[in-house]
């Protein structure tokens, strides 16, 4: 049965191989035969109808379909192929659907209500984490929040003595991971200092540590150290102060309230963790968000693990529980790169997500583990023009048979990837605020990596300045394929926004066949609950 589920990827393997070897492109007969093979493989699929022992939910934050497409091409081109016929690991999953992402009060949502829908089965209002729509935004009362709390799939799993974990490249207190374990009407209340005076609802970091029912969360890996240490203590890596006013060191509370527990904050200590000896692992590798994958090795002072490494370690610890586990893994910085208007880092972080998914597939039994890959929402990220097959996805458009880049009506070249809004506005100046003539070759603005990530905005980058101007810059391949280039946008905004279109759901394993058609986002929870047998 496992071989049948692998038949679909095998059916397109010849096309992928042909794409990498440019001199041996598929013939018309190859295209036809591989199409036939795909249909035959689909007919042989045998859905796993038994219950799942484990469920792994992967979230590519902001990973709209255009992001998947561009990342697929980028990944294929980085391996020497044309790119278009390449597949990311999760694109090979046999079952898929589309998810409608709107929230109760938002046509274009934020990550809090969307993740709440996925882990509770109920849609709610913007900025709210695992509370229903009747709680007012920023409700300060703990009793009101408690009365309207929504039970999450993680909490249900823990109540049945399964192991549970959350992994993210964002702060572990950020909206997506927080929705799994926290209940609050303001996603920004990550530390007690973030709350207004008089608010009795616990902050998100405290909720993670104080959730100790049946041993509490077993694995939590991500960023956000300053939310866990008091403002009288300095961060061990950068020397900045913690953000807690209550004088609690939550990292020490983790160790004190859990058995066989470990806390790590750097790469060496992470690698030293023995999954056979540690049952509860807290890893906080940055004061704020983790580095983008493209910058992780070169920029991190003390070192931090990749999303793939964190996923593998989490599974090694959680799978010791014979009853099973629930694991949520978020590639959180795909979203942040899009907000910054920097396609390169969005694509490379999606590429890393694909590797993390493959690691999970390799480490689990397809007969007992449901793996879901989806997004909370999309972005205003577009793929346009008429580039020839194999044209560099980050490059200027060059059409079939052309010997130079295509031109717009002003006689200027343009790129395949762009944004509908954001900091790449063609009349913009630069992230450092310096003015320049946007018609000059040096005109396009570049991405700025915050040298002090704990001081950056909530999405991990600094605001941008603008120099109103007309016209477009004279782009070159060297400019647009630089990793720091910001793709052009139509509307000037400090931060690019989310988008409202449906996002993909791709799944494999027990009950994965239940994903079909276009569904409400909250149905994802109900498929997971059905897979676990929580509905019976």
Q: With contact defined as beta carbons under 8 Å apart, do 242 and 233 qualify?
A: yes
Residue 174 and residue 161: Cα distance in Å, rounded?
25
The yes-or-no answer on residue 111 being catalytic is yes
Q: Which residue has the tokens 């997004």?
A: 375
Three-class secondary structure of residue 208 per DSSP: helix
Run of H or E residues at 507: strand 503-508
Residue 475 and residue 359: Cα distance in Å, rounded?
39
Residues in the chain: 536
Residue 397 and residue 417: Cα distance in Å, rounded?
9
Three-class secondary structure of residue 36 per DSSP: helix
Closest to 172 (Cα-Cα) out of 372, 347, 319, 328: 328
Residue 58 and residue 177: Cα distance in Å, rounded?
11
Query: Annotated catalytic residue: which of 71, 96, 99, 111?
Result: 111
Each residue of 366-403: b (16+ CB within 10 Å) or e? Answer: beebbbbbbbbbbbbbbbebebeebbbbbbbbbeeeee
Three-class secondary structure assignment of 349-392: HHHHHHHHHHHHHHHCCCCCEEEEEECCCEECEEECCCCCCCCC
Q: Give the catalytic positions in this structure.
A: 111
């Amino acid at each position: 049965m496992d071989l049948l589920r692998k038949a679909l990827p095998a059916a397109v393997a010849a096309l992928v191989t042909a794409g990498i070897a440019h001199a041996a492109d598929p013939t018309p007969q190859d295209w036809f035969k591989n199409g036939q093979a795909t249909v035959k493989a689909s007919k042989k699929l045998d859905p796993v109808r038994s219950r799942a022992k484990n469920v792994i939910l992967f979230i590519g934050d902001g990973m709209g379909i255009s992001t998947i497409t561009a990342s697929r091409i980028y990944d294929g081109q980085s391996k020497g192929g044309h790119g278009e016929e390449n597949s990311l690991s999760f694109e090979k999953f046999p079952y898929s659907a589309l998810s409608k992402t709107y929230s109760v009060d938002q046509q274009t949502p934020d990550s809090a209500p969307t993740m709440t829908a996925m882990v509770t089965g109920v849609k709610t209002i913007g900025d709210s984490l695992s509370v229903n729509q009747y709680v007012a935004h920023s409700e300060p009362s703990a009793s009101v929040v408690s009365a309207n709390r929504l039970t999450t799939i993680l909490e249900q799993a823990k109540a049945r003595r399964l192991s549970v974990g959350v992994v993210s490249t964002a702060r572990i207190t950020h909206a997506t991971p927080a929705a799994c374990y926290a209940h609050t009407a303001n996603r920004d209340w990550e530390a007690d200092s973030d709350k207004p005076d008089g608010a009795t609802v616990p902050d998100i970091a405290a909720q993670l540590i104080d959730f100790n029912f049946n041993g509490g969360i077993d694995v939590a890996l991500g960023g956000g150290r300053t939310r866990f240490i008091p403002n009288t203590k300095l961060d061990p890596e950068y020397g900045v102060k913690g953000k807690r006013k209550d004088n609690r060191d939550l990292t020490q509370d983790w160790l004190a309230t859990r058995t066989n527990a470990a806390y790590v904050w750097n790469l060496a200590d992470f690698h030293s963790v023995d999954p056979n000896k540690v049952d509860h692992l807290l890893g906080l590798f940055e004061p704020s968000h983790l580095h983008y994958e493209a910058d992780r090795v070169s920029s991190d002072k003390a070192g931090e693990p990749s999303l793939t490494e964190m996923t593998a370690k989490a599974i090694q610890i959680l799978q010791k529980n014979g009853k099973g586990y629930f694991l949520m893994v978020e590639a959180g910085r795909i979203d942040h790169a899009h907000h910054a208007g920097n396609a390169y880092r969005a694509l490379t972080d999606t590429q890393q997500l694909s590797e993390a998914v493959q690691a999970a597939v390799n480490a689990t039994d397809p007969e007992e583990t449901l793996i879901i890959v989806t997004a909370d929402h999309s972005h205003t990220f577009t793929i346009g023009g008429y580039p020839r097959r194999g044209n560099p996805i980050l490059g200027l458009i060059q059409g079939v048979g052309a010997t130079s880049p295509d031109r717009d009506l002003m006689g200027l070249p343009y790129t395949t990837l762009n944004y509908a809004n954001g900091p790449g506005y063609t009349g913009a100046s630069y992230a450092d605020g310096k003015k320049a003539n946007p018609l000059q070759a040096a005109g396009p603005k570049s991405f700025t990596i915050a040298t002090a990530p704990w001081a950056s905005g909530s999405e991990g980058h600094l605001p941008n300045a603008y120099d109103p101007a007309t016209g477009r810059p004279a782009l070159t391949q060297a400019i647009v394929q630089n990793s720091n280039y910001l793709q052009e946008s139509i509307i000037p905004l400090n931060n690019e926004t989310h988008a409202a279109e449906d996002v993909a759901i791709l799944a494999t394993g027990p009950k994965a066949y239940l994903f079909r058609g276009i569904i409400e986002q909250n149905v994802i929870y109900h498929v997971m609950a059905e897979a676990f047998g929580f509905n019976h």
